[in-house]
Structure 1
Amino acid sequence: MTVVPQQDTGFTRTPGGGATDAVVILSPDQTDLLLELDRTFSGWGRASGAREILPPPVYPLHDLEKFDVYTNFPHLVFAGAALDLEGSRKPSGGRFARGDLKDARIGLSHATCYGAFLYFEDAHLTEDTSVTLVNRCFRHEDHFSGLRRLLSFQMREIVALGTPEYAQDVLARFTERILAFADALSLKLTKVPATDPFFEKGGARALLAKVSPVKYEFQAGDLAIASVNNHRNFFGERCSIRHAKDDGFVHTSCVAFGLERWLAVLLEQHGDDARGALETVRRASAQVS
């Protein structure tokens, strides 16, 4: 016999096992809604010519270090370590002591797009290219709040690599599509510039970013649920990805969707009726296909 909760609300847990909002197990209806959202966003990517790639949820630390992750995001990132077999093998109070762990050698990514740049590392692209990918992201936030702000969540992205004009064009086209989709959902979104610390805080890129914003967020109320990001040639340089047009480093951009955050605002809009929200998403997707 299968036992299910009386209400289709999902479960939240701390990493140590107590009840909190740090991580979540989605209910079946919530899962259906999230998967429909992901089908919509990934479908937009494929319709624009993006091929799907499948990244891992963790990377060697030296890969993420290429992108200044541990300089610019020390407050967010997690690192993983194996157990030291000479120490204790049982957690105490929901945690292992530092002496029970070996050196941390892997990083848990806090953004999906890194997988695309690492996939194309040292490549020489003969034409403008885009890929789409989804990944499990991890962030050590200063607080957690249900589906709105989680320790572990999923992010779907469409990543463009090519000329500056191509990278900008992808962002412009998807900006229009995001706003049209929100309108079809009767969801009010506001596009606002955001501070994006991809670039060194004191460097020339950081100054340029202040003059010409490189990231815009789409906010539902006070919650950012999507973003469009212009990285210029930062990742092209760091991963040595070149374009055949001039043999220079490619420019990149990405469009990102926080799936659980979309889920949160749609459930709020529909009074926690995931099935009703699902039908609305299906109708809106058909209008903005």
Structure 2
Amino acid sequence: MTVTTPETVGATRGLPSLGPEGTRLLRLLDDTFEGWGLAAGARPMTMPPLLPAADLARLDYYDNFPHQAVLAAPLDLEKRLTSPFDAEHGHWAPAALEPAGLGLPSASCYAVYLDHQGRQVADDTLVTVCSWCFRKETHYEGMRRQLGFRMREVVAIGARGHAEDHLTAFTARVDAFAEAVGLSLRKEAACDPFFDKGGSKALLQRLTPVKYEFLYEDLAIASVNTHRNFFGERCDITLASTGGPAFTSCVAFGLERWLSALTRRHGGWEAATRAVLDAAGPVI
């Protein structure tokens, strides 16, 4: 019997599957990261897998990340008859689809900000979510680069100090956990274009990076991100204490990427799972 692995099943399509061992480790990791959020006071939430494309456009998503964007559209029941499914190429023609009014987000936190739009929040609000995320890539590779993947995030919404302290605390957690499971991570500044390229905020981002990635070898498996008051302003999220726009920050974990890093480091599911089980107790 030929045994296939998650690194090969669906790898070229960006849609690999996980067997029992991988599923167990993924759940163990997610429980660990969620536990950090809950211990810090985060409110667990479940977000929809799709978001209105108009809402994402209002957040400049399609201007800033057009290369990653994936859209969803229903079939046009009449036009599909004249533009049938192309079995040779494996897709529907655009003419057979209704307008694409839904977007598949590339990060879990977008839904959190949209869920809080128009609301006042406490200065120390925390939310944790795990959602399916989607990114168009130039190529796909096992669990390293996927079209659809799961991302656990712990999101801070509130006062500026709260958003900054959140990243400081979770940076220390990521560092300690990585050391405990035997992963040597490199922290590097990255850039997410949340601000107009020619504006003063864009200059500030170049001077003070808003995103740091934690890389295992050449793969980013976690990140800490501050958006200052960008989402607070765009989503009209205000502070109950002052009435001003909320600041936001988030810590993100690409779960499948952690699986890839751990199995490459430890050589297989059993050893990788044991490393996480041994580390989880004192770190959570």
TM tier relative to shorter chain = over 0.9
Q: Are 1:91 and 2:85 matched, yes or no? A: yes
> CA, structure 1 residues 12+21, in 2 after alignment: closer, same or farther (shift >3 Å)?
farther
Q: How far apart are residue 240 of structure 1 and its match?
A: 0.4
Number of the residue aligned with 2:199: 203
Q: Are 1:44 and 2:28 matched, yes or no? A: no
- Larger deviation: 122-131 or 230-239? 122-131
Q: How far apart are residue 139 of structure 1 and its match?
A: 0.5
Normalising by structure 2, we get a TM-score of: 0.95
Within the candidate set 168, 175, 178, 1:179 is matched to 175
Number of the residue aligned with 2:278: 283
- Larger deviation: 153-162 or 90-99? 90-99
Q: How far apart are residue 62 of structure 1 and its match?
A: 1.1
For 2:184 and 2:39, how far apart are their aligned partners in 1?
25
Following superposition of structure 1 onto structure 2, how do residues 60-209 of structure 1 map, counting pairs within 5 Å? 60-88=52-80, 90-92=84-86, 93=88, 94-209=90-205
Residues 194 and 213 in structure 1, CA contact (< 8 A), matched pair in contact too: yes
1:170-214 CA-partner distances (Å, limit 9, x unpaired): 000000000000010111001110011122222222111001110
| Equivalent AA in structure 2 for residue 59 of structure 1 | L
> CA, structure 1 residues 276+68, in 2 after alignment: closer, same or farther (shift >3 Å)?
same
For 1:196 and 1:73, how far apart are their aligned partners in 2?
9
> CA, structure 1 residues 106+100, in 2 after alignment: closer, same or farther (shift >3 Å)?
same
For 2:3 and 2:24, how far apart are their aligned partners in 1?
16
Q: Are 1:261 and 2:257 matched, yes or no? A: yes
For 1:41 and 1:281, how far apart are their aligned partners in 2?
11
For 1:42 and 1:126, how far apart are their aligned partners in 2?
21
Within the candidate set 35, 51, 58, 2:50 is matched to 58
Q: Secondary structure at the match of 2:170?
A: helix
Q: Secondary structure at the match of 2:140?
A: coil
| Equivalent AA in structure 1 for residue 80 of structure 2 | S
For 2:136 and 2:142, how far apart are their aligned partners in 1?
14
Q: Secondary structure at the match of 1:55?
A: coil
Number of the residue aligned with 1:12: 9
For 2:143 and 2:135, how far apart are their aligned partners in 1?
13
